[in-house]
């Protein structure tokens, strides 16, 4: 029983990590949004397995339907004339930029890992015993790194949502699904949805006002620097 449980949990964890990575680093925005919906679905399943059906439902409604829907809503505002181009984030980053973000993400990984090592001493013995927590650390750190890396606003919004999910799993994994943790997660989910909605509306506004290029933060930063 335990073994099978572990297998499912490990599979879930692996799926989450893979989908999260794919979502974070896919330049095609439409595909990334679809991947996010898949990720939210997996999250919902994970909540179910962590025996928090209430949270699973919330995730399904808030995370998958509403937040995921928001992204598609944003993408619909993009000009349809050149279907291929606008949905791809074409910005390039210099190597040092990527390298520092990568290192910072690793450092976060290590930092959170150390802390969790103290919270759950048994993890020291069976490292694979808590695959979801492991996955959540990786997801959170990577999402944070990706957030810092990307310039495209929609991708940053995606990264934020995945970061949130990582934090929520971590919370649930460590604190269990006690009422306090559940409340925190519910509030967090709501806030994430509200924030995403606000962000999406902003993005639509911006696209309508200034075109797709305005979404790449770099331009405005470069303009400020001159």
Partner 1 sequence: MITLLLLAALLWPLCVAGSAIWHAYRTPAANRHHFSLLWISASWPALLLAYGGEAQWSIDAWMLGGYWELNALSRPWLAFTAFLWSLAAVHARGYFVAEQANAQVGDNDAQRRLQRLALLWPLTFFGNVLLIIAQDIASFYLGFALMTFAAYALVVHSGSDDARLGARAYLILAVIGEGLILGGLLWAAGTAETLTLEGVREGIAGAEQGAMMALLLWLGFGVKAGVIGLHVWLPLAHPVAPAPASAVLSGAMIKAGLLGWINVLPLGVEGLSPALTQLGNVMLVAGLAAAFGAALYGVWQRHPKAVLAYSSISQMGMLTAMVATGLAAPDVWPLLLPGVVLFAAHHALAKGALFMGTSISEHMPRWPQPLLFALIALPGVSLTGALAAGLLSKWGVKSALYESQHEQLIMLLTLAAIGTAALITVCVWRQWQQRQSEGGNAFQWGAWLVALIAALITPIWLPLPDTSMMAPPMEEWLGIVWPFPVGVGVVAVSAYLLRSVRLTAPPAGDLWWTYSALVVRGLQSVRFIAHTCERLKIASLARSLAFEKALMGQLQRWLPGEGWMRRHGSGLMMALAVVLAFLLMWEGLR
Partner 2 sequence: MIERFGLHESTFDPLWYTHWALAATLVLPILAGLLGARCAPRRLFPVALACLPILLAGALLVFDYQQAGLLRWQWQVAGVEISLRFNGLSGLMLMITQWVGAAAALYTPGHLRITHPGKRARWLWPLMGVLISSLSLIWLAADLLTLYAALELMGLAAVGMLLLSGKPAALKAGIRYLLLALVGSLAYLLGVALLLGYWGALGLQALAEVVEPGPVTWVAAALIGAGLALKAALFPLHGWLTPVHENAWTPVSALHAALVIKASLFILLMLWSILLPGTLLAPRFVAWLGMLAIVWGGLIAWRADSLKTLVASSTVGQLGYLMVAFPLLLGPSITPLAEALAWEGFWLHLMGHSLAKAAMFMAAGNLIIATGESSLRGLSGTSRRLPLSLLIFGIAAVTLMGLPPSAGFTAKWLLLQALVISQQWVAVAALLAGTLLTAAYVFRVFRYSFDETAPRHQYQPLAPGMDIIALCLALAAFALGLLAHLPLALIQGGGV
- Give residues in contact with partner 2 (CB under 8 A): 111-112, 114-120, 140, 144, 147, 153, 156-157, 160, 163-164, 167, 170-171, 174-175, 178-181, 183-184, 187-188, 191-192, 194-195, 198-199, 202-203, 205-206, 209-210, 214, 217, 220, 224
Q: Which does 171 bind (CB under 5 to 8 A by kind): partner 1, partner 2, none?
A: partner 2
Q: Are 216 and 203 in contact (CB under 8 A)?
A: no
Q: CA–CA separation, 169 vs 50, rounded Å?
A: 9
Q: How far is the CB of 96 from partner 1 (least distance, A)?
A: 11
Instruction: Name which of 15 and 188 has its Cβ closer to partner 2.
Output: 188
Cα 45–chain centre separation: 16
Q: How far is the CB of 203 from partner 1 (least distance, A)?
A: 18
Please state, in angstroms and rounded to a whole number, the distance separating the CA atoms of residues 43 and 173: 13
Q: Which does 69 bind (CB under 5 to 8 A by kind): partner 1, partner 2, none?
A: none
Dist CA 27 CA 185 (whole Å)? 29
Smallest distance from partner 1 to CB 104, Å: 4
Closer to partner 1 by Cβ: residue 6 or 217: 217
87 binds, options partner 2, partner 1, none, Cβ within 5 to 8 A by partner type: none
Residue 50 binding: pick among partner 2, partner 1, none (C-beta 5-8 Å cut-off by kind):
none
Give min distance, CB of 3 to partner 2, in A: 25
């Amino acid at each position: 029983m335990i073994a099978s449980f572990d297998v499912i949990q490990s599979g879930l964890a692996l799926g989450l990590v893979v989908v999260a990575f794919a979502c974070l680093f896919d330049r095609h925005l439409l595909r990334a949004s679809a991947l996010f919906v898949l990720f939210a679905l997996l999250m919902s399943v994970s909540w179910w397995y962590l025996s928090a059906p209430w949270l699973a439902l919330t995730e399904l409604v808030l995370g998958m339907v509403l937040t995921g829907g928001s992204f598609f809503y944003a993408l619909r505002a993009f000009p349809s004339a050149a279907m291929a181009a606008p949905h791809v984030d074409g910005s390039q980053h210099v190597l040092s930029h990527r390298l520092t973000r990568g290192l910072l993400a690793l450092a976060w990984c290590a930092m959170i890992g150390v802390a969790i090592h103290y919270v759950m001493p048994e993890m020291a013995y069976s490292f694979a015993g808590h695959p979801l927590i492991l996955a959540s650390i990786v997801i959170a750190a990577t999402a944070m790194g990706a957030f810092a890396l990307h310039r495209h606003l929609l991708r940053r919004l995606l990264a934020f949502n995945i970061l949130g999910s990582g934090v929520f799993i971590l919370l649930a994994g460590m604190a269990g699904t006690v009422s306090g943790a559940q409340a925190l997660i519910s509030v967090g989910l709501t806030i994430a949805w509200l924030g995403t909605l606000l962000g999406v509306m902003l993005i639509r506004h911006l696209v309508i006002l200034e075109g797709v290029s305005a979404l790449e933060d770099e331009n405005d930063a470069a303009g400020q620097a001159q």
